[in-house]
Structures are given as C-alpha cells and as structure tokens.
Amino acid sequence: MKNGSVYIETYGCQMNFADTEIVLGVLKKQGYTVAQNPEDADIILLNTCSIRDNAEQRIYGRLGNLKNLKTKKPELVLGILGCMAERLRKDLIEEKKIVDVVVGPDEYRRLPEYIDIAFNGDKGIGVKLSRTETYDDIEPHREDGLSAWISVMRGCDKFCTFCVVPFTRGRERSRSLNSIVKEIEDLSARGFKEVTLLGQNVNSYQDEENDFSDLLAAAAKVDPSMRIRFTTSHPQDLSEKLLYTIAEQQNICNYIHLPVQSGSNRILELMNRTYTIEHYLNLIEKAKRIIPGVSFSTDIIAGFPTETWEDHLATLDVMRQVRYDGAYMFKYSPREGTKAYKMGDDVPEDVKTKRLQEIIDLQQQISYEINQGLIGKEEIVLVEGFSRKSNEFLSGRTDTNKVTIIPAQENIKPGDYIRIKINKATSATLFGEYLSHIVFEKSSVVLSA
Ligand code: 5AD
Ligand code: SF4
C-alpha cells in the first residue's frame, strides 16, 4: 500500500473538526504523515459542509484554486470528505473532474483503500451510511493543547424539514460511555483543560442504561480541573435530570446551546421541530431556576418558507424573553431533498436580509447589555494564551464561554484558572483584572493567593 503526506482543510461545524482528527488518526495508523501546507502534500482532502448553499459555494471556490496545484502536480490526489461527499458525489466526480476521492462521514475507516484506488488512477468512492459506525476504537490525531472535542454520537433522527444532516450523516448512534471516559482520562493526562462532547442531538445519547446525563456526570468526575462542555441540545429531549447534573457538578459549564430556530409556533410546526414556544420558554425558566447563572445560546433561521412579518416579530419577542448570551443567525437556505425544499422559497431575498439584520442587531444589543451588567463582578477564567492583538494581554474564557482579556503578567500561564474582576465589556468581549489563582483538587476548590 502506498502512502505519503496528507493535508486536510476542514469546513463547517465542530463535528467536522472532530472527524478530521479521526481521519488523521486512521491515516497515521497506515503510515501517512501530516503536511503543514497544501504545497507539501501528496494528498489534499477537504472535509466539507452542506448545511447551507453558501458553505458549498465556498468549497467549490476552493476546489477551483486547488485545480491549479493539480495542473502543476498531476499525481496529487484531491479528495472530498464530509457532507458534500454524501450529497453531491455524482456532481463532484463527473462534473468536477479534478476530484479523485469522495468519501462520506461513515466510511473514513476505509479511506486508505480509496486513496490507493486514486493512486492507481481510478476514482475512490465510499459514500455508504452506517447504522453502527462510531469510530469508538480509533484514536483521533490531536495536537497538544488545552481544548479538545469528542464526538459522542453521530447522525440525527430528528428530520427538521430544512436540514440535510439526517441525509448526509445518517441515523443516530452513540459511542460507549467507557471509551469516552477513557479518552477524557488520556486528555487529562496530556494536560488538556477543556473537553466539548459533540453530537447533532446529544440529548438522545444512549449507551445501554446510560443516558446523556450519566455520560456528562462520568465525564465530569474524571478530572475536576477539566471543564466539560457539550453541544447541541434539542429542546424536545433536554431532561430535568440533565439540568440537575449540570447544577451539581462544578466543572460542567453553565452554558447550554439550545437552538430555537423560530419564535412562531406555526413555523416551528412546519420545521418539524416538535416543540412549541411555550414548551421552549418553560424549559428555559426551569434551567434558570435549577442552574443559577446559566447562560444560553441559540440558532435562528430568518425567512423560512411562508414566514410572515408576525412570525418574524415572534422570533424577536422570544429573543427578548430569553436574553441569549449569543446566537448563530442564518438566512434560510433551501436544500434539495429536504421537505422544506418542496415548500418553495417564497420569502424574497431582500426581506430575508432585512429580517436577519434585525435579528443580528437585537442580539448584539442584548449581548452588550448582559456583558455591561457583569462589570464589577468576579469570574473564573481559564487562560488560553496571549490575546490575538497583543502579547501584553492574555485571553481566556469564562465558564459561560465569554472571551475575556486581562493584562499579561509573569505568574499567569495558559491552562491556569484565575479569578478576575470585570472592569469593561463590549458585546463580544469582557476585560478584567487579575485577582488570584484557583487550584482545583479532588472534590474541592482551593483558593491560593
Ligand atoms: N438554512 C439555514 N439554516 C440552516 N440550518 C440548518 N439547515 C439550514 C438551512 N437549510 C441552521 C440551523 C441549525 C444550524 C446548525 O444551522 O439553525 O441549528
Ligand atoms: Fe438538522 Fe434538526 Fe438534526 Fe439539528 S436536530 S441536525 S437541525 S435535523
């Protein structure tokens, strides 16, 4: 079997970034090395995203650039991984003739075989979806660092009518709790300080009698100095047990990403989201009661088919009621093969643009007000390194995932937990001053001067 050096570019969600580490794990086991830039690679792979049309257009643009590289170096193997591989295999191979390998999210184990086929001058195509593949036994390739992603389940059974994920990533299946805990133990031993458990719908996690709350609790117990985050939660499946688990474990972050998508019950029904706004707001209230200081982020779609001005106002209204710390906000993008695609795309582009802008402006105002309210308060920050703008400042994040900047000083290192006092805030960033270090020991918090 021939091998060489591989360069992977990753687009889209955190799940794709976690998958890239799995792919590199598979390839490294076969003797491939990792190239630091595309010019040095024998194989270039794009791990792609299909969630919205603009994601796909960007990747087509990138393929256009890579064509030049391939013209100069015809033996170069160019491949597409991820959701676009699943959705557009024919188009990619037949029309975009420069692609040699097309492998979907459930066939990464066999990627070396498909690359071999390409080295021999044929096209390597693997796009079967699986009901069981979780890559449980594959050790992902991770550079040293503070923060790691672990995908704990794959696929989605929700079939929201706008979404391609159930088609590109297949049915839901969970990894075993034991192998996830073992992976967190290894990360802790390597000095990682933060783990994010990933799944399209983590609340459906199930490993024999263990549900997602059990997994979170087990993850949190590995190392009290390690922060545990998770994403994404579906409002229908988020249980009270999970809220109590978050409240009980100090190192599970008090931050829930809970996509609402729309504030209108009529639209939620057309989206097949399976909850009402009343249920959603109830859940938010319950979470606020059970987890003091909890913060929320969300996903919102503007301009879903048939969305009226009143529907749009209902979305703005929900944003005002919940007061999200942050939001990912999108214009509706019709995806072929989904149910919503058949509903047409009847909200005109300029109306979508206007509604999205109103949503963004409102969110920015809310984030600003929330952050202003933190001035004078104390927070615990996990220090990540120098700030992007200057080595005179350090950057880290609070438990609720807010980027925080403090003046650098000798005794503060990446990976330290420090208590800070906030003295300035914008809608996106907190600024603070150092108060003291915090040391976490088994089962208790010890303050040091
Ligand atoms: N158009 C716009 N946004 C979409 N999302 C998913 N599918 C679409 C689409 N067709 C958004 C949803 C989801 C997030 C990951 O992407 O808000 O929660
Ligand atoms: Fe897509 Fe809905 Fe599944 Fe999220 S829950 S991946 S939006 S189908």
Is residue 348 packed enough to be buried (19+ CB in 10 Å), middle (13-18) or exposed (0-12)? exposed
Quick one: which atom of ligand 2 is closest to the CA of 234? 5
Tell me, yes or no, whether 99 and 164 share the same domain. no
Domains identified in the chain, total number? 3
Q: Is residue 274 part of a domain?
A: yes
Q: Which of 372, 392, 422 is the last residue of a domain?
A: 372
Q: Which of 356, 372, 388 is the last residue of a domain?
A: 372
Tell me, yes or no, whether 190 and 299 share the same domain. yes
Question: What is the 8-class DSSP label of residue 217?
Answer: H
> Beta-carbon neighbour count of residue 87 at 10 Å?
21
CATH number, residue 327: 3.80.30.20
Give residue 229 CA to ligand 1 midpoint distance, Å.
Answer: 21
Per-residue model confidence (pLDDT) at position 449: 43
Task: Write the pLDDT tens digit of every residue in 313-326.
Answer: 999 999 999 999 99
Compute the distance between CA of residue 370 and CA of residue 359 in angstroms, rounded to an integer.
16
Binned at pLDDT 50, 70 and 90, residue 297 comes out as very high
Residues with CB under 6 A from ligand 1: 51-52, 162-163, 259, 261, 299, 301, 330, 332-333, 335
Estimate to the nearest angstrom the gap between the alpha carbon of 154 and the chain centroid: 13
Give residue 438 CA to ligand 2 midpoint distance, Å.
Answer: 38
| Ligand 2 pocket member 156 (CB < 6 A) | yes
Per-residue model confidence (pLDDT) at position 447: 54
* Mean pLDDT, residues 87-115 taken together: 88
Tell me, yes or no, whether 45 and 161 share the same domain. no
Give residue 240 CA to ligand 2 midpoint distance, Å.
Answer: 21
Whether residue 255 contacts residue 399, with contact meaning beta carbons closer than 8 Å, is answered with: yes
Whether residue 258 contacts residue 296, with contact meaning beta carbons closer than 8 Å, is answered with: yes
Predicted TM-score (pTM) of the model is 0.95
Q: Is residue 140 part of a domain?
A: no
Binned at pLDDT 50, 70 and 90, residue 76 comes out as very high
Tell me, yes or no, whether 192 and 105 share the same domain. no
Q: Which of 14, 158, 161 to mutate to test the pocket of ligand 2 (most atoms within 8 A of CB)?
A: 158
Compute the distance between CA of residue 146 and CA of residue 144 in angstroms, rounded to an integer.
7
Domain hosting 57: range is 5-126
Q: For residue 158, which ligand has an atom nearest its CA? A: 2
Give residue 199 CA to ligand 1 midpoint distance, Å.
Answer: 15
Quick one: which atom of ligand 2 is closest to the CA of 232? 4
| Ligand 2 pocket member 163 (CB < 6 A) | yes
Q: Is residue 182 part of a domain?
A: yes
